[in-house]
Amino acid sequence: MKILIIHTHYHFKGGEDAVVEHEIELLKQYYDVEVLYFQNHLGFQGALQFLLSIWNFVSISEVKQKIKEFQPDIIHVHNWHFAMGPLLFRAISKLGIPIVHTIHNYRLLCPSAILFHNQNLFTNSLTQRFPWTSIRNKVYRSSRTQTFWIAFTIWLHKKIGTWNKINAYICLTPFAADVFQKSNFGISKERFVIKPNFTTVIENSNAIKRENHYLFIGRLSEEKGVEILVKAFQNTSFKLRIAGDGPLKESVLKVCEKSANIIYLGNLSKEKVIAELYKCQALIFPSVWYEGMPMTIIEAFSTSTPVIASRIGAMSSMISDAENGFLFESGNENNLIETLNKFNLLSSSEKEQIYLNTYHSYQNQYSPKLQKLYFDSIYNKVLKEKKRLY
């Protein structure tokens, strides 16, 4: 089976880019795979890409040339924003090639892409025929003009049936699929499939012993719940280590100066992140927005590390209370403290059982060996549908 992967890199490489690259490495073990990358830019070139994204003939000519050379059976698209644009799907469909599209965020439903704005969930766009509220609130880059252009682009392509050209939408969690199906997106639920992200286990060769502290890893920003995190730990004697970088870094450093139980580790390499996960009691994940599928949680599971997380979005799908972690009310620092106390009062044998359950969660849902089954099912389904239609 010949698979063409198409993906647009963000100007600043992020988690989505890493997930796509990881997935491509795995796919190449089983299929004949080629990749076509596009790149978002800044400045005048980026502005031109953004403006043309509504109907980008330039990028489409490059896609058509690649298709002509490779002759793929299926085309799997990840990020199309904004160097390619939705015209991509129309061009591929016209050539009769099945399309699979992995949804990494909520941009098709709201220009914000994350359904979060001004420190709160922002879900107005999910039910509006046209997202005027998002435009008034300037949810994309604090610009009313840029927010409108994204909204208009997605709306226009909805009106002319572009999103119906996609044969299968891959959602990372049942929660994400449910959000799309309950919105005004208008695509039948049969086209949505669930395929989680995955990671490869990095073995704990040094047999690191768990220490008596908790761990946060992630971007130091408001949507990640960093303010709730530090407030909760400031009011307890529990030890916390924080790893990451972001706009709230200076605030975190000030808290660390005042609170001896909170230590800032800086921005860590992948190897050091894994080592820290093996050492901590549990990962704290206090995010207050609808995450896609946090790789940090999957990495925690791969190291037998339970996760104490907000009961919201992807986390509510990934974490089962008292089995592979605990859930607390999103944005509620007092409930986080109560949950920490609950975990801390567990006996050694109860904790060991949760550690074991956590690794089983990884094996049964997020390990590389399962991905081949997911992809076979998805790709074979769209190929079968193509044969039925043609």
**CA–CA distance, 30 with 217 (Å, rounded to integer):** 33
Alpha helices in 104-204, H assignment, sequence order: 132-136, 144-159, 174-182
pLDDT at 288 over 80: yes
Q: Mind listing the pLDDT tens digit for each residue in 19-31?
A: 999 999 999 999 9
Q: Which two tokens stand for residue 308?
A: 């104490």
| Residue type at 321 in one-letter notation | D
Residue ranges in the chain assigned as alpha helix (H): 15-27, 43-52, 57-70, 87-94, 132-136, 144-159, 174-182, 226-234, 249-258, 270-279, 295-302, 313-318, 333-344, 348-361, 368-389
- 36, β-bridge pairs: 6
Q: Is the peptide bond before 82 cis (omega within 30 degrees of 0)?
A: yes
pLDDT in tens, 188-227: 999 999 999 999 987 765 567 899 999 999 999 999 999 9
Report the alpha-carbon distance of residue 307 to residue 286 in Å, rounded. 10
Distance from chain centroid for Cα 261: 30
Quote the CA–CA distance of 163 and 186 in Å, as a whole number: 9
Residue 202 to residue 298: CA distance in whole angstroms: 12
Note the pLDDT of residue 390: 59
- pLDDT above 90 covers a percentage of the chain that reads 94
Please report the DSSP string for 208-274 in residue order: PPP-S-EEEES--SGGGTHHHHHHHHHTSS--EEEE--STTHHHHHHHHHH-TTEEEEESPPHHHHH
Lookup result for tokens 């924080």: 242
Ordered domains of the chain (ranges, CATH): 2-198+368-389 (3.40.50.2000), 214-366 (3.40.50.2000)
From the list 153, 147, 19, 145, the residue with the least C-alpha distance to 76 is 19
Rounded Cα gap, residues 253 and 114, in angstroms: 27
Give the residue-averaged pLDDT of 325-339.
Answer: 98
Report yes or no on whether pTM surpasses 0.85.
Answer: yes
Cα–Cα distances (Å) from 191 to 43, 163, 196, 377, in that order, read: 37, 11, 16, 13
pLDDT at 11: 79
Q: What is the mean pLDDT of residues 305-312?
A: 98
Give backbone dihedrals phi and psi of 353, rounded to 5 degrees, phi first.
-65, -40
- Quote the pLDDT of residue 297: 97
Q: State the pLDDT at residue 201.
A: 86
Residue with tokens 């992200």: 197
Pairing label, strands 214-217, 240-243: parallel
For residue 33, what are the β-bridge partners?
A: 3
Question: How many CB atoms are closer than 10 A to CB 370?
Answer: 15
For helices 144-159 and 43-52, what crossing angle results, to 10°?
30
Q: List CB contacts of 322: < 8 A, sequence separation 6 or more.
A: 354
